[in-house]
Chains A and B, each alone.
Chain A
Amino acid sequence: MNDKNSIKVVDRNAIDGIISLLKSEGFITVGPTLRDKTIIYDEIENTSELPIGWTDEQEAGHYRIKRRNDEALFGYNVGPHSWKKYLFPPKLELFEANKNGKSFEIKTILTDTTKYAFIGVRSCELHAIQIQDKVFNNWQYKDPNYVSLRDRTFIIAVNCTQAGKTCFCASMDTGPRAKKGFDLSITEVINPNEHYFVVESGSDKGEDILSKVETNFATEEQIFKADAEIDSASRNMGRALITDGIKDLLMNNMEHPQWNDVAARCLTCANCTMVCPTCFCNNVEDVNDISGNHTERWRKWDSCFSLDFSKVAGGNFRTSPKARYRQWMTHKLASWIDQFGTSGCVGCGRCITWCPVGIDITKEVKAIQDNPVN
Protein backbone atom coordinates (compact mmCIF):
# COMPACT_ATOMS: atom_id res chain seq x y z
CA MET A 1 0.00 0.00 0.00
CA ASN A 2 1.05 3.50 -0.73
CA ASP A 3 1.64 6.04 1.92
CA LYS A 4 -1.15 8.55 2.28
CA ASN A 5 0.74 11.28 0.45
CA SER A 6 0.71 9.37 -2.81
CA ILE A 7 -3.01 8.68 -2.77
CA LYS A 8 -4.72 10.57 -5.53
CA VAL A 9 -8.21 11.67 -6.21
CA VAL A 10 -9.73 11.80 -9.68
CA ASP A 11 -13.05 12.41 -11.34
CA ARG A 12 -14.89 10.29 -13.89
CA ASN A 13 -13.10 12.01 -16.77
CA ALA A 14 -9.78 10.74 -15.48
CA ILE A 15 -11.12 7.21 -15.41
CA ASP A 16 -12.15 7.61 -19.02
CA GLY A 17 -8.69 8.96 -19.62
CA ILE A 18 -7.15 5.86 -18.10
CA ILE A 19 -9.36 3.63 -20.25
CA SER A 20 -8.40 5.44 -23.43
CA LEU A 21 -4.72 5.38 -22.50
CA LEU A 22 -4.96 1.64 -22.00
CA LYS A 23 -6.77 1.24 -25.29
CA SER A 24 -4.09 3.25 -27.04
CA GLU A 25 -1.51 0.84 -25.64
CA GLY A 26 -3.36 -2.03 -27.21
CA PHE A 27 -5.30 -3.27 -24.22
CA ILE A 28 -8.73 -4.75 -24.61
CA THR A 29 -10.60 -2.95 -21.86
CA VAL A 30 -13.18 -5.09 -20.14
CA GLY A 31 -15.44 -4.24 -17.26
CA PRO A 32 -18.90 -4.57 -15.80
CA THR A 33 -21.77 -3.69 -18.06
CA LEU A 34 -25.48 -4.23 -18.11
CA ARG A 35 -26.81 -7.04 -20.29
CA ASP A 36 -30.18 -8.80 -20.08
CA LYS A 37 -30.91 -7.28 -16.67
CA THR A 38 -27.64 -8.62 -15.34
CA ILE A 39 -24.30 -7.02 -14.64
CA ILE A 40 -21.71 -9.00 -16.55
CA TYR A 41 -18.16 -8.47 -17.79
CA ASP A 42 -17.58 -7.49 -21.37
CA GLU A 43 -15.53 -5.18 -23.50
CA ILE A 44 -16.22 -1.54 -22.72
CA GLU A 45 -15.13 1.57 -24.57
CA ASN A 46 -15.54 4.09 -21.78
CA THR A 47 -17.26 4.64 -18.45
CA SER A 48 -20.63 5.28 -20.07
CA GLU A 49 -20.85 1.53 -20.70
CA LEU A 50 -20.58 0.79 -16.99
CA PRO A 51 -23.87 0.03 -15.20
CA ILE A 52 -24.13 3.64 -14.03
CA GLY A 53 -26.81 4.19 -11.44
CA TRP A 54 -27.57 0.49 -11.11
CA THR A 55 -27.15 -1.88 -8.26
CA ASP A 56 -28.02 -5.48 -7.64
CA GLU A 57 -30.12 -7.25 -5.07
CA GLN A 58 -28.81 -10.67 -4.20
CA GLU A 59 -29.99 -13.47 -1.97
CA ALA A 60 -29.73 -17.24 -2.09
CA GLY A 61 -31.11 -18.20 -5.49
CA HIS A 62 -32.05 -14.59 -6.19
CA TYR A 63 -30.59 -11.82 -8.37
CA ARG A 64 -32.29 -8.61 -9.48
CA ILE A 65 -30.88 -5.32 -10.71
CA LYS A 66 -32.31 -2.15 -9.24
CA ARG A 67 -31.94 1.56 -9.89
CA ARG A 68 -29.86 3.46 -7.42
CA ASN A 69 -30.80 6.97 -6.47
CA ASP A 70 -27.45 8.26 -7.71
CA GLU A 71 -25.13 7.89 -10.69
CA ALA A 72 -22.48 5.67 -9.09
CA LEU A 73 -20.19 3.86 -11.54
CA PHE A 74 -19.42 0.90 -9.29
CA GLY A 75 -22.41 0.77 -6.96
CA TYR A 76 -23.07 -2.97 -7.16
CA ASN A 77 -21.43 -6.25 -6.27
CA VAL A 78 -20.30 -9.17 -8.37
CA GLY A 79 -22.54 -10.76 -10.99
CA PRO A 80 -22.52 -14.20 -12.58
CA HIS A 81 -19.34 -13.55 -14.57
CA SER A 82 -15.86 -13.59 -13.20
CA TRP A 83 -12.54 -12.66 -14.78
CA LYS A 84 -11.64 -16.31 -15.18
CA LYS A 85 -13.56 -16.28 -18.45
CA TYR A 86 -10.71 -14.21 -19.90
CA LEU A 87 -7.68 -15.87 -18.31
CA PHE A 88 -9.11 -19.39 -18.36
CA PRO A 89 -11.46 -19.23 -21.33
CA PRO A 90 -14.54 -21.49 -21.30
CA LYS A 91 -13.33 -22.92 -24.63
CA LEU A 92 -9.72 -23.07 -25.70
CA GLU A 93 -8.29 -24.85 -28.70
CA LEU A 94 -5.23 -26.84 -27.63
CA PHE A 95 -4.04 -28.04 -31.01
CA GLU A 96 -5.09 -29.22 -34.42
CA ALA A 97 -3.93 -32.30 -36.25
CA ASN A 98 -4.05 -33.29 -39.88
CA LYS A 99 -3.76 -36.79 -41.30
CA ASN A 100 -0.71 -37.46 -43.34
CA GLY A 101 -0.74 -41.01 -44.67
CA LYS A 102 -0.26 -43.42 -41.76
CA SER A 103 0.85 -40.55 -39.63
CA PHE A 104 -0.48 -37.14 -38.72
CA GLU A 105 0.95 -33.73 -38.06
CA ILE A 106 0.21 -31.57 -35.10
CA LYS A 107 -0.39 -27.91 -35.68
CA THR A 108 0.11 -25.91 -32.53
CA ILE A 109 -2.04 -22.93 -31.72
CA LEU A 110 -0.25 -19.67 -31.05
CA THR A 111 -0.62 -18.72 -27.44
CA ASP A 112 -3.10 -15.94 -26.91
CA THR A 113 -1.20 -12.69 -26.39
CA THR A 114 -4.21 -10.46 -25.92
CA LYS A 115 -3.57 -7.66 -23.46
CA TYR A 116 -6.58 -7.36 -21.24
CA ALA A 117 -7.25 -4.46 -18.91
CA PHE A 118 -9.73 -5.53 -16.25
CA ILE A 119 -11.68 -2.57 -14.94
CA GLY A 120 -13.55 -3.00 -11.70
CA VAL A 121 -11.95 -6.08 -10.16
CA ARG A 122 -13.21 -6.57 -6.62
CA SER A 123 -10.94 -7.69 -3.82
CA CYS A 124 -12.51 -11.16 -3.70
CA GLU A 125 -11.82 -11.44 -7.41
CA LEU A 126 -8.19 -10.37 -7.04
CA HIS A 127 -7.82 -13.21 -4.57
CA ALA A 128 -9.56 -15.56 -6.99
CA ILE A 129 -7.11 -14.62 -9.75
CA GLN A 130 -4.17 -15.22 -7.43
CA ILE A 131 -5.65 -18.60 -6.53
CA GLN A 132 -5.97 -19.61 -10.18
CA ASP A 133 -2.38 -18.42 -10.72
CA LYS A 134 -1.31 -21.26 -8.43
CA VAL A 135 -3.39 -23.77 -10.36
CA PHE A 136 -2.24 -22.95 -13.88
CA ASN A 137 1.33 -22.13 -12.96
CA ASN A 138 2.08 -24.92 -10.53
CA TRP A 139 5.49 -26.06 -9.36
CA GLN A 140 5.71 -28.54 -12.22
CA TYR A 141 3.68 -27.33 -15.17
CA LYS A 142 2.59 -24.07 -16.73
CA ASP A 143 -0.47 -23.47 -18.87
CA PRO A 144 1.18 -21.26 -21.50
CA ASN A 145 -2.08 -19.63 -22.46
CA TYR A 146 -2.93 -18.67 -18.92
CA VAL A 147 0.56 -17.46 -18.14
CA SER A 148 0.67 -15.42 -21.35
CA LEU A 149 -2.65 -13.72 -20.71
CA ARG A 150 -2.09 -13.25 -17.02
CA ASP A 151 1.31 -11.63 -17.38
CA ARG A 152 -0.11 -9.10 -19.81
CA THR A 153 -3.18 -8.22 -17.79
CA PHE A 154 -3.62 -4.75 -16.35
CA ILE A 155 -5.87 -4.72 -13.32
CA ILE A 156 -7.92 -1.83 -12.00
CA ALA A 157 -9.39 -2.92 -8.70
CA VAL A 158 -12.46 -1.34 -7.18
CA ASN A 159 -12.88 -1.37 -3.44
CA CYS A 160 -16.36 -2.40 -2.43
CA THR A 161 -18.24 0.32 -0.61
CA GLN A 162 -21.30 -1.84 -0.15
CA ALA A 163 -21.70 -5.54 0.55
CA GLY A 164 -24.24 -7.80 -1.02
CA LYS A 165 -26.47 -10.07 1.01
CA THR A 166 -24.57 -13.12 -0.21
CA CYS A 167 -21.12 -11.58 0.31
CA PHE A 168 -18.78 -12.97 2.96
CA CYS A 169 -15.31 -11.83 1.92
CA ALA A 170 -14.68 -10.19 5.30
CA SER A 171 -14.83 -13.58 7.02
CA MET A 172 -12.63 -15.16 4.33
CA ASP A 173 -10.08 -12.36 4.77
CA THR A 174 -10.28 -11.59 1.06
CA GLY A 175 -11.88 -8.15 1.14
CA PRO A 176 -13.56 -5.79 0.82
CA ARG A 177 -10.39 -3.70 0.47
CA ALA A 178 -8.01 -4.63 -2.33
CA LYS A 179 -4.58 -4.94 -0.80
CA LYS A 180 -2.37 -6.30 -3.54
CA GLY A 181 -2.35 -7.76 -6.99
CA PHE A 182 -3.61 -4.67 -8.84
CA ASP A 183 -2.08 -1.96 -10.96
CA LEU A 184 -4.56 0.66 -9.82
CA SER A 185 -7.25 0.58 -7.19
CA ILE A 186 -10.25 2.86 -7.02
CA THR A 187 -12.62 3.74 -4.21
CA GLU A 188 -15.72 5.52 -5.36
CA VAL A 189 -17.23 8.11 -3.05
CA ILE A 190 -20.64 9.44 -3.98
CA ASN A 191 -23.14 11.52 -2.09
CA PRO A 192 -25.52 14.32 -3.01
CA ASN A 193 -22.70 16.84 -2.73
CA GLU A 194 -19.74 15.14 -4.29
CA HIS A 195 -18.60 12.32 -6.53
CA TYR A 196 -14.94 11.39 -6.68
CA PHE A 197 -12.61 8.42 -6.90
CA VAL A 198 -9.71 7.83 -4.58
CA VAL A 199 -6.98 6.11 -6.58
CA GLU A 200 -3.88 4.25 -5.51
CA SER A 201 -1.34 2.60 -7.72
CA GLY A 202 -0.10 -0.89 -6.99
CA SER A 203 2.58 -1.22 -9.66
CA ASP A 204 4.99 0.85 -11.69
CA LYS A 205 2.76 0.44 -14.68
CA GLY A 206 -0.20 1.68 -12.64
CA GLU A 207 1.84 4.62 -11.43
CA ASP A 208 2.84 5.40 -14.99
CA ILE A 209 -0.72 5.39 -16.30
CA LEU A 210 -1.93 7.43 -13.35
CA SER A 211 0.74 10.04 -14.00
CA LYS A 212 -0.71 10.62 -17.45
CA VAL A 213 -4.18 11.70 -16.31
CA GLU A 214 -5.30 14.62 -14.26
CA THR A 215 -5.11 13.84 -10.56
CA ASN A 216 -5.02 15.71 -7.31
CA PHE A 217 -3.58 14.60 -4.02
CA ALA A 218 -6.38 13.22 -1.93
CA THR A 219 -7.19 15.20 1.18
CA GLU A 220 -7.34 13.47 4.53
CA GLU A 221 -11.06 13.97 4.53
CA GLN A 222 -11.45 12.38 1.14
CA ILE A 223 -9.37 9.42 2.20
CA PHE A 224 -11.26 9.18 5.46
CA LYS A 225 -14.60 9.09 3.66
CA ALA A 226 -13.39 6.44 1.24
CA ASP A 227 -12.06 4.30 4.06
CA ALA A 228 -15.29 4.72 5.96
CA GLU A 229 -17.23 3.41 2.98
CA ILE A 230 -15.03 0.31 2.77
CA ASP A 231 -15.30 -0.22 6.51
CA SER A 232 -19.04 0.04 6.24
CA ALA A 233 -19.06 -2.65 3.54
CA SER A 234 -16.94 -4.82 5.78
CA ARG A 235 -19.39 -4.44 8.65
CA ASN A 236 -22.42 -5.08 6.48
CA MET A 237 -21.49 -8.43 4.97
CA GLY A 238 -24.64 -10.40 4.29
CA ARG A 239 -23.03 -13.61 5.40
CA ALA A 240 -20.04 -15.06 7.22
CA LEU A 241 -18.17 -18.31 7.14
CA ILE A 242 -16.13 -19.43 10.12
CA THR A 243 -12.91 -20.84 8.74
CA ASP A 244 -11.18 -21.85 11.98
CA GLY A 245 -10.23 -25.51 11.73
CA ILE A 246 -12.45 -25.93 8.68
CA LYS A 247 -10.14 -28.34 6.88
CA ASP A 248 -10.09 -30.88 9.68
CA LEU A 249 -13.75 -30.32 10.43
CA LEU A 250 -14.84 -31.20 6.90
CA MET A 251 -12.33 -34.01 6.37
CA ASN A 252 -13.40 -35.58 9.66
CA ASN A 253 -17.07 -35.34 8.76
CA MET A 254 -17.15 -36.96 5.34
CA GLU A 255 -20.12 -39.06 6.43
CA HIS A 256 -22.01 -36.27 8.20
CA PRO A 257 -25.81 -36.48 7.67
CA GLN A 258 -25.75 -32.91 6.37
CA TRP A 259 -24.30 -34.19 3.08
CA ASN A 260 -27.45 -36.23 2.54
CA ASP A 261 -29.53 -33.23 3.50
CA VAL A 262 -27.89 -30.94 0.96
CA ALA A 263 -27.88 -33.71 -1.65
CA ALA A 264 -31.67 -33.89 -1.40
CA ARG A 265 -31.80 -30.22 -2.46
CA CYS A 266 -28.88 -30.05 -4.88
CA LEU A 267 -29.81 -30.37 -8.56
CA THR A 268 -26.16 -31.06 -9.53
CA CYS A 269 -26.69 -28.41 -12.19
CA ALA A 270 -23.09 -27.13 -11.89
CA ASN A 271 -24.15 -23.45 -11.73
CA CYS A 272 -22.02 -22.94 -8.63
CA THR A 273 -18.91 -24.19 -10.38
CA MET A 274 -19.55 -22.11 -13.48
CA VAL A 275 -19.95 -18.86 -11.51
CA CYS A 276 -17.19 -19.64 -9.03
CA PRO A 277 -14.15 -17.48 -9.81
CA THR A 278 -11.71 -20.18 -8.66
CA CYS A 279 -13.26 -23.40 -9.99
CA PHE A 280 -10.82 -24.60 -12.62
CA CYS A 281 -11.90 -28.10 -13.62
CA ASN A 282 -11.92 -28.69 -17.32
CA ASN A 283 -12.43 -31.39 -19.88
CA VAL A 284 -10.82 -32.04 -23.24
CA GLU A 285 -12.86 -32.82 -26.32
CA ASP A 286 -12.02 -33.79 -29.85
CA VAL A 287 -13.76 -32.23 -32.79
CA ASN A 288 -13.38 -33.85 -36.19
CA ASP A 289 -14.34 -32.66 -39.61
CA ILE A 290 -16.42 -34.85 -41.83
CA SER A 291 -13.46 -36.03 -43.93
CA GLY A 292 -11.81 -37.52 -40.89
CA ASN A 293 -8.54 -35.94 -41.95
CA HIS A 294 -8.66 -32.93 -39.66
CA THR A 295 -9.18 -32.89 -35.94
CA GLU A 296 -9.02 -30.37 -33.15
CA ARG A 297 -8.60 -30.75 -29.40
CA TRP A 298 -10.51 -28.30 -27.28
CA ARG A 299 -10.38 -27.64 -23.59
CA LYS A 300 -13.70 -26.72 -22.03
CA TRP A 301 -14.90 -25.83 -18.58
CA ASP A 302 -16.14 -28.87 -16.73
CA SER A 303 -17.68 -29.39 -13.33
CA CYS A 304 -17.25 -31.94 -10.58
CA PHE A 305 -21.05 -31.99 -10.48
CA SER A 306 -21.28 -33.60 -13.90
CA LEU A 307 -21.85 -37.33 -13.82
CA ASP A 308 -19.12 -38.11 -16.32
CA PHE A 309 -16.54 -36.21 -14.31
CA SER A 310 -15.33 -39.19 -12.30
CA LYS A 311 -16.08 -41.88 -14.88
CA VAL A 312 -13.38 -44.46 -15.53
CA ALA A 313 -13.25 -47.54 -17.72
CA GLY A 314 -15.59 -49.95 -16.04
CA GLY A 315 -17.29 -47.61 -13.60
CA ASN A 316 -17.69 -44.26 -11.94
CA PHE A 317 -16.23 -43.23 -8.62
CA ARG A 318 -18.75 -40.49 -7.73
CA THR A 319 -22.30 -41.02 -8.86
CA SER A 320 -24.47 -39.82 -5.98
CA PRO A 321 -25.33 -36.11 -5.68
CA LYS A 322 -24.09 -36.39 -2.12
CA ALA A 323 -20.62 -37.40 -3.26
CA ARG A 324 -20.52 -34.75 -5.94
CA TYR A 325 -21.59 -31.91 -3.65
CA ARG A 326 -19.21 -33.16 -0.97
CA GLN A 327 -16.37 -33.26 -3.50
CA TRP A 328 -17.05 -29.68 -4.52
CA MET A 329 -17.36 -28.25 -1.05
CA THR A 330 -14.57 -30.22 0.61
CA HIS A 331 -12.30 -29.34 -2.29
CA LYS A 332 -13.16 -25.68 -2.15
CA LEU A 333 -12.84 -25.29 1.60
CA ALA A 334 -10.57 -28.08 2.77
CA SER A 335 -8.40 -30.05 0.34
CA TRP A 336 -7.65 -26.85 -1.61
CA ILE A 337 -5.63 -25.73 1.41
CA ASP A 338 -3.39 -28.80 1.12
CA GLN A 339 -3.13 -28.44 -2.63
CA PHE A 340 -2.44 -24.74 -2.98
CA GLY A 341 -1.90 -23.30 0.49
CA THR A 342 -5.07 -21.23 0.50
CA SER A 343 -8.78 -21.78 0.66
CA GLY A 344 -10.43 -22.15 -2.73
CA CYS A 345 -13.23 -19.87 -1.55
CA VAL A 346 -12.98 -16.08 -1.67
CA GLY A 347 -16.38 -15.32 -0.18
CA CYS A 348 -17.83 -13.70 -3.31
CA GLY A 349 -21.18 -15.38 -2.72
CA ARG A 350 -21.81 -16.21 -6.38
CA CYS A 351 -22.50 -19.88 -5.68
CA ILE A 352 -25.21 -18.84 -3.22
CA THR A 353 -26.85 -16.28 -5.48
CA TRP A 354 -26.79 -18.39 -8.60
CA CYS A 355 -27.87 -21.69 -7.06
CA PRO A 356 -31.34 -22.31 -8.48
CA VAL A 357 -32.44 -23.85 -5.20
CA GLY A 358 -30.60 -21.39 -2.99
CA ILE A 359 -28.08 -23.71 -1.38
CA ASP A 360 -25.88 -21.57 0.82
CA ILE A 361 -22.33 -22.78 1.36
CA THR A 362 -22.05 -20.77 4.58
CA LYS A 363 -25.13 -22.46 6.01
CA GLU A 364 -24.00 -25.90 4.92
CA VAL A 365 -20.69 -25.40 6.69
CA LYS A 366 -22.40 -24.05 9.78
CA ALA A 367 -24.71 -27.05 9.96
CA ILE A 368 -21.64 -29.29 10.22
CA GLN A 369 -19.84 -26.87 12.54
CA ASP A 370 -22.80 -26.76 14.91
CA ASN A 371 -23.18 -30.49 15.05
CA PRO A 372 -20.02 -32.32 14.03
CA VAL A 373 -20.03 -36.10 14.03
CA ASN A 374 -16.28 -36.30 14.55
Chain B
Amino acid sequence: MHTEDISILLRNHSFLEDLKPEYIDTILSCASNTYFPDGTKIFSEGEEAKKFYLIRTGKVAIEINGREKGSIRILTLGPGQVLGWSWLVSPYKWHFDAYAIDDVRAVALDGECLRNKCEENHDLGYELIKRFSGILEARLKATRIQLLDVYTKEIK
Protein backbone atom coordinates (compact mmCIF):
# COMPACT_ATOMS: atom_id res chain seq x y z
CA MET B 1 0.00 0.00 0.00
CA HIS B 2 1.22 3.47 -0.78
CA THR B 3 2.20 5.86 1.95
CA GLU B 4 -0.50 8.32 0.85
CA ASP B 5 -3.11 5.66 1.49
CA ILE B 6 -1.74 4.95 4.94
CA SER B 7 -1.83 8.62 5.76
CA ILE B 8 -5.56 8.56 4.98
CA LEU B 9 -6.01 5.54 7.24
CA LEU B 10 -4.14 7.32 10.01
CA ARG B 11 -6.18 10.48 9.65
CA ASN B 12 -9.41 8.51 9.62
CA HIS B 13 -8.69 6.61 12.80
CA SER B 14 -10.39 8.10 15.85
CA PHE B 15 -7.19 7.83 17.91
CA LEU B 16 -5.48 10.37 15.64
CA GLU B 17 -8.58 12.46 14.99
CA ASP B 18 -7.70 16.13 14.44
CA LEU B 19 -3.97 15.48 14.77
CA LYS B 20 -2.01 18.22 13.00
CA PRO B 21 -1.20 17.16 9.39
CA GLU B 22 2.51 17.71 9.99
CA TYR B 23 2.45 15.18 12.83
CA ILE B 24 0.70 12.69 10.58
CA ASP B 25 3.49 13.22 8.08
CA THR B 26 6.07 12.77 10.83
CA ILE B 27 4.74 9.44 12.06
CA LEU B 28 3.85 8.16 8.63
CA SER B 29 7.22 6.49 8.21
CA CYS B 30 6.54 4.44 11.39
CA ALA B 31 3.22 3.16 10.09
CA SER B 32 2.36 0.07 8.10
CA ASN B 33 -0.87 -1.53 7.11
CA THR B 34 -1.53 -4.98 8.58
CA TYR B 35 -4.06 -7.72 8.35
CA PHE B 36 -4.60 -10.58 10.80
CA PRO B 37 -6.91 -13.39 9.70
CA ASP B 38 -9.36 -14.67 12.27
CA GLY B 39 -7.52 -16.75 14.86
CA THR B 40 -4.08 -15.16 14.48
CA LYS B 41 -2.14 -14.60 17.67
CA ILE B 42 -1.11 -10.95 17.33
CA PHE B 43 1.32 -10.92 20.23
CA SER B 44 2.28 -13.05 23.21
CA GLU B 45 3.04 -12.38 26.84
CA GLY B 46 6.77 -11.78 27.36
CA GLU B 47 7.58 -10.96 23.74
CA GLU B 48 9.17 -7.68 22.84
CA ALA B 49 6.48 -5.07 22.25
CA LYS B 50 7.66 -3.68 18.96
CA LYS B 51 4.42 -2.23 17.71
CA PHE B 52 1.00 -1.04 18.57
CA TYR B 53 -2.11 -1.18 16.43
CA LEU B 54 -4.89 1.13 15.40
CA ILE B 55 -7.75 -1.27 14.74
CA ARG B 56 -9.76 -0.45 11.62
CA THR B 57 -12.02 -3.45 11.31
CA GLY B 58 -12.54 -6.71 13.13
CA LYS B 59 -12.14 -7.65 16.75
CA VAL B 60 -9.14 -8.43 18.97
CA ALA B 61 -9.29 -10.28 22.27
CA ILE B 62 -6.82 -9.63 25.04
CA GLU B 63 -6.21 -12.64 27.22
CA ILE B 64 -4.31 -13.23 30.38
CA ASN B 65 -3.03 -16.69 31.06
CA GLY B 66 -4.01 -17.34 34.65
CA ARG B 67 -1.79 -20.43 34.72
CA GLU B 68 -3.88 -22.95 36.68
CA LYS B 69 -6.95 -20.83 35.93
CA GLY B 70 -6.38 -21.16 32.19
CA SER B 71 -6.64 -18.34 29.69
CA ILE B 72 -9.11 -15.65 30.62
CA ARG B 73 -10.40 -13.23 28.06
CA ILE B 74 -10.43 -9.84 29.75
CA LEU B 75 -11.23 -7.36 27.03
CA THR B 76 -12.10 -7.15 23.40
CA LEU B 77 -11.19 -4.24 21.18
CA GLY B 78 -12.79 -3.25 17.94
CA PRO B 79 -12.80 -0.65 15.18
CA GLY B 80 -11.51 2.75 16.27
CA GLN B 81 -9.69 1.38 19.28
CA VAL B 82 -6.00 1.08 20.10
CA LEU B 83 -4.27 -2.20 20.85
CA GLY B 84 -1.14 -2.14 23.01
CA TRP B 85 0.94 0.35 24.92
CA SER B 86 3.81 -1.80 26.19
CA TRP B 87 5.95 -0.27 23.40
CA LEU B 88 5.74 2.98 25.35
CA VAL B 89 7.17 1.80 28.64
CA SER B 90 10.49 0.06 29.31
CA PRO B 91 11.27 -2.86 29.14
CA TYR B 92 8.89 -2.90 26.12
CA LYS B 93 7.47 -6.35 26.70
CA TRP B 94 3.87 -7.56 26.17
CA HIS B 95 2.14 -8.51 29.40
CA PHE B 96 -0.81 -10.23 27.80
CA ASP B 97 -1.75 -12.26 24.74
CA ALA B 98 -3.74 -10.80 21.88
CA TYR B 99 -5.75 -12.75 19.32
CA ALA B 100 -7.65 -11.70 16.26
CA ILE B 101 -11.13 -13.15 16.80
CA ASP B 102 -12.32 -11.85 13.48
CA ASP B 103 -10.47 -10.81 10.37
CA VAL B 104 -8.64 -7.76 11.64
CA ARG B 105 -7.37 -4.85 9.60
CA ALA B 106 -5.16 -2.40 11.43
CA VAL B 107 -2.46 0.16 11.05
CA ALA B 108 0.67 -0.93 12.92
CA LEU B 109 2.94 1.74 14.35
CA ASP B 110 6.53 0.84 15.10
CA GLY B 111 7.28 1.57 18.74
CA GLU B 112 10.94 2.36 18.50
CA CYS B 113 10.42 4.54 15.45
CA LEU B 114 7.67 6.45 17.22
CA ARG B 115 9.67 6.82 20.44
CA ASN B 116 12.50 8.34 18.44
CA LYS B 117 10.15 10.76 16.69
CA CYS B 118 8.73 11.79 20.03
CA GLU B 119 12.20 12.36 21.48
CA GLU B 120 13.00 14.57 18.50
CA ASN B 121 9.71 16.41 18.68
CA HIS B 122 8.39 16.73 22.22
CA ASP B 123 5.30 18.57 21.01
CA LEU B 124 4.34 15.50 19.01
CA GLY B 125 5.29 13.32 21.98
CA TYR B 126 3.12 15.38 24.32
CA GLU B 127 0.19 15.22 21.90
CA LEU B 128 0.43 11.44 21.63
CA ILE B 129 0.89 10.97 25.38
CA LYS B 130 -2.25 13.01 25.99
CA ARG B 131 -4.18 10.72 23.68
CA PHE B 132 -2.74 7.60 25.26
CA SER B 133 -3.48 8.94 28.73
CA GLY B 134 -7.13 9.31 27.77
CA ILE B 135 -7.25 5.70 26.64
CA LEU B 136 -5.41 4.48 29.72
CA GLU B 137 -7.79 6.39 31.92
CA ALA B 138 -10.83 4.91 30.20
CA ARG B 139 -9.39 1.39 30.31
CA LEU B 140 -8.49 1.71 33.99
CA LYS B 141 -11.94 3.01 34.79
CA ALA B 142 -13.56 0.18 32.84
CA THR B 143 -11.34 -2.36 34.60
CA ARG B 144 -12.30 -0.96 37.97
CA ILE B 145 -15.98 -1.19 37.10
CA GLN B 146 -15.36 -4.77 35.99
CA LEU B 147 -13.77 -5.38 39.40
CA LEU B 148 -17.09 -4.48 41.02
CA ASP B 149 -18.61 -7.54 39.41
CA VAL B 150 -21.84 -5.56 39.35
CA TYR B 151 -24.12 -8.32 38.15
CA THR B 152 -23.34 -10.72 40.96
CA LYS B 153 -25.88 -10.84 43.72
CA GLU B 154 -24.69 -13.08 46.48
CA ILE B 155 -27.28 -15.01 48.38
CA LYS B 156 -27.19 -13.66 51.90
Contacts and interface: CB of A to CB of B under 8 A. Distances in A.
Direct contact of A and B (CB under 8 A): yes
Interface of A: 313-315
Interface of B: 152-154
A40 B41 CA distance: 79
**Interface of chain A: mostly helix, strand, loop or mixed:** loop
Contacts, number: 5
A313 B150 CA distance: 12
**Interface of chain B: mostly helix, strand, loop or mixed:** loop
A314 B151 CA distance: 9
Contacts of A314: 152-154
Nearest to B153: A314
Nearest to A315: B153
Nearest to B155: A313
B75 to A, nearest CB: 24
A314 B156 CA distance: 8
A147 B13 CA distance: 68
B153 to A, nearest CB: 3
A309 to B, nearest CB: 15
Contacts of A315: 153
A247 to B, nearest CB: 33
A22 to B, nearest CB: 51
5 contacts: A313-B153, A314-B152, A314-B153, A314-B154, A315-B153
A315 B154 CA distance: 8
A314 B152 CA distance: 7
Nearest to A316: B156
B99 to A, nearest CB: 33
A248 B152 CA distance: 37
The 5 A-B pairs at the shortest CB distance, nearest first, are namely A314-B153, A313-B153, A314-B154, A314-B152, A315-B153
A238 to B, nearest CB: 44
